[in-house]
Structure 1
Amino acid sequence: MSGTSSRSSTVALSTTSASDATRGLLLGVAGVAMFALSLPMTRLAGGSVEAPQLPPAFVAFGRAAVAGLLSMAYLWATGARRPRGHEWGLLALTAGGVVFGWPLLSGLAVRRVDAVHAAVVSGVLPLATAVIGALALRQRPSLGFWACALAGLGLVVGFAAWRGAGGLELADGLLLGAVVCASAGYVSGARLSRALTAEQVICWVLVLSLPATLPLALWTRPPAPVAASAWAGFAYVSLFSMWIGFFAWYRGLALGGTLRVSQVQVLQPFLSMLAAVPLLGERLDLTTVAFAAAVIAVVWLGKRQPVN
C-alpha cells in the first residue's frame, strides 16, 4: 500500500511540474507578445516627426505614472512588505533603466524611424542583458558568447547604416542607448526578485518613481487635442508594456524556469515587425526580414554559449 502511495505521489509531482513548465512557457509567450507591441504602440501614441501626436516625454512619464498608481493599489491590496536596506538602491537602478531610460529613448527614436526599423535594432536586447548580467555578476563568458555579442552588435549597426543610406542616424544611437538602459534594469530587477516577488519588484519600482513621473507627466501633457488612436497606444503601453506584461513575464520565468522560458524572447523582433504592418501600415522587405532573422539566430546561439 505504501509503495502504491509513493508511486502515486511521484506521478502527481511530475504532473504538477510538467503543468507548471507549460504554464510558465505560455505566460512567457504572453509576456513577450505584450512587450513586442510596445514599439508599434509607442509610435502610434507619439506619431512621427511629420505627423506628431502625444509628446514622447509624456508617453514615457505618463505610462509610468499610470502604472505607478495601479501599483500602489496592488501593493496595498496584497499587503506587500516594504523594501529594506540595499533593495532601495537596486530599485532605483531598475527604475532608471525600465521606467526612465528605455521608454524615453525608444519613444524619441520611433518618432524618427519606423517601428520595423526599431524592432531589428532592439532585437539584441536579450544578448545585451546577458552581457551586462555577466559583467555585473563577474562571470566569465566563453569566447563563443563574446563572438555572438559582437556579431549581434555588428548586424544591428550594419542594418542601421543600410537603412540610413550608408550612415547611422540619431535614432539608432537612441535605440542602442535604450537597449543598454533596459538591459541594466532587467539585471538589477532580477537581483531584486531573489528577495521580493517579481510582481512586487516592478510595482515598487513604479511606486518609487511616482514622485518624478507624475509631475513630469502633468508638465509634459499634450497642449492640443490628439487622435483617439494615439490615446489607445498610450493606454496600451501604460497597462500592458509597463505593468501587466511584467507580471506575465516574471511569473512565466518563475514557473517554467529562466533558461527555458527566456528563449522565447528571441521571437520579439518578428512579432514587433508583424504588428507594425496592420497597426501602422508599415511595409516589410526581404532585406529587413533577413537582418531580423540573422539577429535572432545570433541571439539564440549566444544564449546557448557557456558562461562560468
Structure 2
Amino acid sequence: MRVESNVIAPAGVTLGALGVLGFSFSLPATRLAVTGGLDPWFVAFGRAAVAGMLAIAYLAFVRAPLPTRDQVRRLLIVALGIVVGFPLFTSLALATQTSAHGAVVIAGLPMSTAVWAVVRAGERPRPAFWLASGVGFLAVLAFIATTGGISGGFGIADVFLLIGVALCGLGYAEGGALARDLGGARTVCWALVVSLPMTVPISLVTMNFSSASGTAWFGFAYVAVISMFLGFFAWYAGLARGGVAKVGQVQLAQPVLTLVWSAFLLAEPVGWTTIIAAIVVLTCVIWTQRSRSTDLITKR
C-alpha cells in the first residue's frame, strides 16, 4: 500500500518537534538526578512508576478500552524500549559521564528508529531519505566533536548509551506503528501501565532519599512527568501521522538542543558554531520531510 506521507507530514512533524523539545532536556535532567544523590536504578524505574500512576488516571478519565492481546504483546515491546531500556541505560551512563558526551551517542537515535521502522513498522524509506538522514547524522557528530563533546576513550558508559539507543529506537518504531491504532497518548499510557509490576517494586527497593538534593528532585520530576509521560503524547502522535522513519528524523535536532541545555546548566560557552550547526541539522530534517520517503508494507 502506497502512502503519500507528504500530505500528512506537516502535522506529524509539528507534533514530533514538540516531543523532541521535551526530550531534549532529558539527559541534563537525568544527570542532575543521578549526580544529586538519587540512585540511577531509582531514577530509571521511579520515573516510570510515577508516570504509570499518571497514565492510570488519564486512561480512566478518557475511559480507554482495554488493549487486545496482540496489542498487549506489542506494548511490552514498546515498554522494553522506552520504559525500561533507555531510561535505565542512560541513567547508568550519566552517573559517570556528562550529558554533553551522552548527546554524541544519542545522535544515532534517529537512524536507530529508521532501521527499526523497516523491521517492525513495515516502512521502506527511499535512498534519498537515507542520504538526508545520514548527512544530518554526520553533521551532528561533527558539531559535537568540534565543540568538545567527545572526550576520553570508549568506556562502559558508551556501551550503556549504545544499548539504550538501540532499545529506544525499537520502542519508538513499535510505538509509532501501534499509535496508528491506539493513538499516541494511549500507546504510551498502556506501555507504562503494563510495566508497573516491574517498575514499582524496583523503585521501592532502590529508593534512598537521604542525600538527594533539590536539583536531583527537579531532574527526577522532569524525566517522570515530561520525558516519560507528556513528551510521548506528542511524539507518538507525530510518528503515527507522519511515518515512523520520516518524523523520527526530527530527532536529529535533539543532540544540538541537549548541548544548549547542558551549556545553560553547566555554564559552558555556546557560540556561532552551535547556531550554524543547528541550521545545518534543521536543513537536513527538512530534506528528509521533502524526500517523499515512506512506503508501507502491511504486516499482520
TM-score (norm 1): 0.77
Is the Cα contact below 8 Å between 1:123 and 1:266 reproduced in 2? yes
Q: Which moved more, 1:52-61 or 1:138-147?
A: 138-147
CA contact (8 A) 2:120 2:174 kept: no
* 1:32 and 2:16 are equivalent in the alignment: no
> For 2:236, which of 217, 241, 250 is the aligned residue?
250
> Which residue is 2:29 aligned to?
41
**Residue identity in the other structure for 2:259:** M
Work out whether 1:187 is the aligned partner of 2:152.
no
SS of equivalent residue, structure 2 residue 110: helix
Which AA in structure 1 matches 2:221?
A
2: CA distance, partners of 1:162 / 1:31: 23
Q: Which residue of 2 aligns with 1:127?
A: 111
The structural deviation recorded for 1:117 is: 1.5
Aligned to 1:8: none
Q: What code does the residue aligned with 1:84 have?
A: T
In 1, the alpha carbon distance for the partners of 2:95 and 2:288 equals 31
Question: Contact 1:27–1:252 (CA<8 Å) still a contact in 2?
Answer: yes
Secondary structure, aligned partner of 1:80: coil
Determine helix, strand or coil for the equivalent of 2:37: coil
Aligned 1:88-107 pairs, distance under 5 A = 88-107=72-91
What SS does structure 2 have at the residue aligned with 1:278? Answer: helix
Larger CA Rg, structure 1 vs 2: 1
SS at match of 1:195: helix
Contact persistence 1:46–1:230 (CA under 8 A): yes
Supply the distance in 1 between the matched residues of 2:10 and 2:124 (Cα, whole angstroms): 31
Question: Aligned runs of 1:1-308 on 2, under 5 Å?
Answer: 26-47=14-35, 53-137=37-121, 152=137, 159=145, 163-165=150-152, 167-222=153-208, 224-253=210-239, 257-258=242-243, 262-283=248-269, 304=291, 306=293
5+ residue gaps, structure 1, are: 1-17
**Structure 2: where are the runs of 5+ without partners?**
1-6, 296-300
CA contact (8 A) 2:126 2:293 kept: yes
Deviation at 1:69, TM superposition (A): 0.6
Give the counterpart letter for 1:28 in structure 2.
G
SS in structure 1 opposite 2:182?
A: coil
C-alpha spacing 1:153/1:172, structure 2 compared with 1 (3 Å)? farther
Q: How far off is 1:225 after superposition?
A: 2.6
The CA distance in 1 between the partners of 2:46 and 2:233, in whole Å, is 19
RMSD: 3.5
CA positional deviation for 1:189: 0.9
> Residues 75 and 200 of structure 1 are in contact (CA less than 8 Å); yes or no, is this contact kept in structure 2?
yes
CA distance in 2, matches of 1:150, 1:77: 42
TM-score, normalization: structure 2? 0.79
Question: Contact 2:100–2:259 at 8 Å: present in 1 too?
Answer: yes
